[in-house]
Amino acid sequence: MSALRRKFGEDYQVVNTNQGITFSAPVKRKRQRFVEKNGRCNVQHGNLGGETSRYISDLFTTLVDLKWRWNLLIFILTYTVAWLVMASMWWVIAYIRGDLSHGGHDKSYTPCVANVYNFPSAFLFFIETEATIGYGYRYITEKCPEGIILFLFQSLLGSIVDAFLIGCMFIKMSQPKKRAETLMFSQYAVISQRDGKLCLMFRVGNLRNSHMVSAQIRCKLIKSRQTPEGEFLPLDQCELDVGFGTGADQLFLVSPLTICHEINTKSPFFDLSQRSLMNEQFEIVVILEGIVETTGMTCQARTSYTEDEVLWGNRFLPVMSLEEGFFRVDYSQFHNTFEVPTPPYSVKEQEEKSSLTSPNPLPVAPTPSSPMLGNGGRGARRERLLSADYADHVEDQAFRLPRKLQRMSSTKEELLWRGLKTGPALPGGKASSTGDLPLSIQRLRSSSIPVAMQGQPEEQVQLLSLDGDAEEDELEKQRLPAAIRTITAPTPPLVQIPLVGSRPEDNLPAKLRRMNADR
């Protein structure tokens, strides 16, 4: 079975057709993390060769980095061995001097160390001397210079061993690693919209009342990639911007805060969508650094989020509430999230879609107070009218005019078509409109109207305004767009020509009247 899985992969299934029982391997193995949730880096160093001697050169740091069980073992063994070695040296001095042969020292014999008869008594003497207990029963005499020298060596060696081991234990106990246990990170990271922008967010909190001085947060994206040159970079590290340019990475960590990474063109998640998130493999490492207020030591807390721990379209529940006289933080809701409407597309897809669907902004007709109403504005409007798109847009907007302007336009158009249908006026007519007719009809009509006789004053042409006041009409025309003014241009005025007589013959030229008279 194991051989088949190694050959065909973990998704290989073995089916027993006789009993109808199916044995299947797990579809997806557990994700191998680069940094564990508790902040421990999942990296082991091997094949160091001769580089192991570097650990001995920095013995103090090596002892501090060891686990507690190894530290306690080294602590106990060091003191035990030192005591046994020093007790043996005192016993050797007593043996050489012959102090051990005298079972009970008489008053006439002066030993090196009084009342040391065997190894246990030598060991007790060393412990009393090293611990400065001084019971007063065993002591060094002045007749033993070698004992005095050994006593000085014992005092120096004991001070060095005490300083090294006790200092190592003190530093290990006062390490700020345990302070990081009271710094919380949310179990999941979420992706949703904030201020109209797609953001990656997670939450941090401080369980203690003591603050983290100069707290700063950083994020790293761990993802394997291949360069255009073909080089494979395993676990390549990329920086995620969490407000470095705006100072948002500097935290005042009194209450839980939501850290936000804006997904834009500079973000490595620029082309990340809800669908592609299921197929991606990456890890986000979060590093929180600060100075412990009570000890003044620098503390660093770490955690990580894999692609399975990033929730698309979710948001964190609020944990802050206002009580009477203070703010309360409910840490039972610290890790909880809820779904919110979020587009499933990446920022790249949204930008491409918006650029395709949104047309170019159309120009707006200027208002009377706009500076475009001058000569330069007239030329610009004339150029925009040459565009078919703009003309269609203006024609659509013509139906959105106020009712008063629509009535003005419809009235002028009716007068134009009425003038085309009426044709030339009868000889006895009082007035005739020629400006509304085409150019060929105007020429025929002008030839049919008799010219005033010689000696008569020239005909006075009176222009009649259709709307009454000319100034008001000009003001109304300026308020219209350029294209509408071309459609609703005022019709030419009526031309009133005075008649000479009441008969039709009186309106003929003088030459024709003489010809008729001769006939």
The pLDDT value recorded for residue 380 is 42
Q: Which of 333, 350, 367 is the last residue of a domain?
A: 350
Do 381 and 482 touch, CB atoms closer than 8 A? yes
Within this chain, do residues 84 and 121 fall inside the same structural domain, yes or no? Answer: yes
Within this chain, do residues 323 and 208 fall inside the same structural domain, yes or no? Answer: yes
Which tokens in the block code for residue 140?
Answer: 């060094």
Concatenating the DSSP letter of every residue in 97-127 gives: HTTTT-SS--TT---SBTT--SHHHHHHHHH
Produce one character per residue of 213-246: b if its CB has 16 or more CB atoms within 10 Å, e if not.
eebebbbbbbbeeeeeeeeeeeeeeeebbbeeee
| Cα–Cα distance measured from residue 381 to residue 208, given in angstroms and rounded to the nearest whole number | 69
Within a domain: 18: no
Within this chain, do residues 196 and 241 fall inside the same structural domain, yes or no? Answer: yes
Angle, in degrees to the nearest 10, between helices 403-422 and 470-479: 110
Q: What is the residue-level pLDDT of the chain in tens, covering all 519 positions?
A: 444 444 444 444 443 434 444 434 445 566 789 999 988 898 988 888 777 788 888 888 888 888 889 999 999 999 999 999 999 999 998 888 887 776 555 667 778 888 888 898 889 888 888 888 877 788 888 888 888 899 899 989 989 999 988 888 888 888 888 888 899 999 999 999 999 999 999 999 999 988 899 999 999 999 999 999 999 999 999 999 999 889 999 999 999 999 999 999 999 999 999 999 999 999 999 999 999 988 888 999 999 999 999 999 999 999 999 988 899 999 999 999 999 999 999 999 999 988 887 655 544 444 444 333 344 444 444 444 334 444 444 444 444 555 555 566 555 555 555 554 454 444 444 444 444 444 444 444 444 444 444 444 344 334 333 344 445 555 555 555 554 454 444 555 544 444 445 565 566 677 767 776 765
User: Tell me, what DSSP letter sits at residue 490?
Assistant: P
| Cα–Cα distance measured from residue 384 to residue 165, given in angstroms and rounded to the nearest whole number | 88
CA 484 to chain centre: 48
CB contact set of 104 (below 8 Å; sequence gap of 6+): none
Within this chain, do residues 224 and 271 fall inside the same structural domain, yes or no? Answer: yes
Within a domain: 207: yes
Within this chain, do residues 102 and 195 fall inside the same structural domain, yes or no? Answer: no
Report the candidate in 296, 203, 299 with the shortest Cα–Cα distance to residue 255.
Answer: 203
User: Tell me, what DSSP letter sits at residue 445?
Assistant: H
Q: H-helix or E-strand containing 22?
A: strand 21-24
343: domain CATH number? 2.60.40.1400
Within this chain, do residues 216 and 328 fall inside the same structural domain, yes or no? Answer: yes
Within this chain, do residues 59 and 155 fall inside the same structural domain, yes or no? Answer: yes
CA atoms within 13 A on the CB side of 416: 13
CA atoms within 13 A on the CB side of 439: 0
The pLDDT value recorded for residue 510 is 73
Do 220 and 241 touch, CB atoms closer than 8 A? no
| Cα–Cα distance measured from residue 189 to residue 283, given in angstroms and rounded to the nearest whole number | 11
* DSSP β-ladder status, 232-240 and 212-226: antiparallel
**If DSSP codes are grouped into helix, strand and coil, which group holds residue 260?**
strand
Convert the pLDDT of each residue in 110-158 to its tens digit. Answer: 788 888 888 988 898 888 888 888 777 888 888 888 888 998 999 899 8
Within a domain: 500: no
Within this chain, do residues 105 and 197 fall inside the same structural domain, yes or no? Answer: no
Within a domain: 378: no
Report the candidate in 494, 490, 493, 515 with the shortest Cα–Cα distance to residue 429.
Answer: 494
Residue 183 is part of which domain span? 179-350
Within this chain, do residues 170 and 196 fall inside the same structural domain, yes or no? Answer: no
Concatenating the DSSP letter of every residue in 297-347 gives: -EEEEEEEEEGGGEEETEEEPP-EEE-SSSEEE-GGGSS-EEE----SS-H
| Cα–Cα distance measured from residue 297 to residue 177, given in angstroms and rounded to the nearest whole number | 10
The pLDDT value recorded for residue 140 is 85
Number of domains the chain is built from? 2
Q: Which of 174, 189, 211 is the last residue of a domain?
A: 174
Within a domain: 87: yes
CA 295 to chain centre: 34
Amino acid at 250: Q
CB contact set of 135 (below 8 Å; sequence gap of 6+): 128
Q: Which of 293, 321, 350 is the last residue of a domain?
A: 350
The pLDDT value recorded for residue 117 is 83
CA 397 to chain centre: 41
User: Tell me, what DSSP letter sits at residue 194?
Assistant: E
Do 221 and 272 touch, CB atoms closer than 8 A? no
CB contact set of 31 (below 8 Å; sequence gap of 6+): 306, 308
Exposed/middle/buried for residue 212 (C-beta within 10 Å: 0-12, 13-18, 19+): buried
113: domain CATH number? 1.10.287.70
Within this chain, do residues 238 and 336 fall inside the same structural domain, yes or no? Answer: yes
Give pTM, 2 decimals: 0.56
**If DSSP codes are grouped into helix, strand and coil, which group holds residue 68?**
helix
Question: If you compute the radius of gyration of the chain from its CA atoms, what whole number of angstroms results?
Answer: 52
Do 198 and 191 touch, CB atoms closer than 8 A? yes
Within this chain, do residues 122 and 219 fall inside the same structural domain, yes or no? Answer: no
Helix (H), strand (E), coil (C) string for 45-63: CCCCHHHHHHHHHCHHHHH
Within this chain, do residues 192 and 95 fall inside the same structural domain, yes or no? Answer: no
| Cα–Cα distance measured from residue 393 to residue 408, given in angstroms and rounded to the nearest whole number | 21
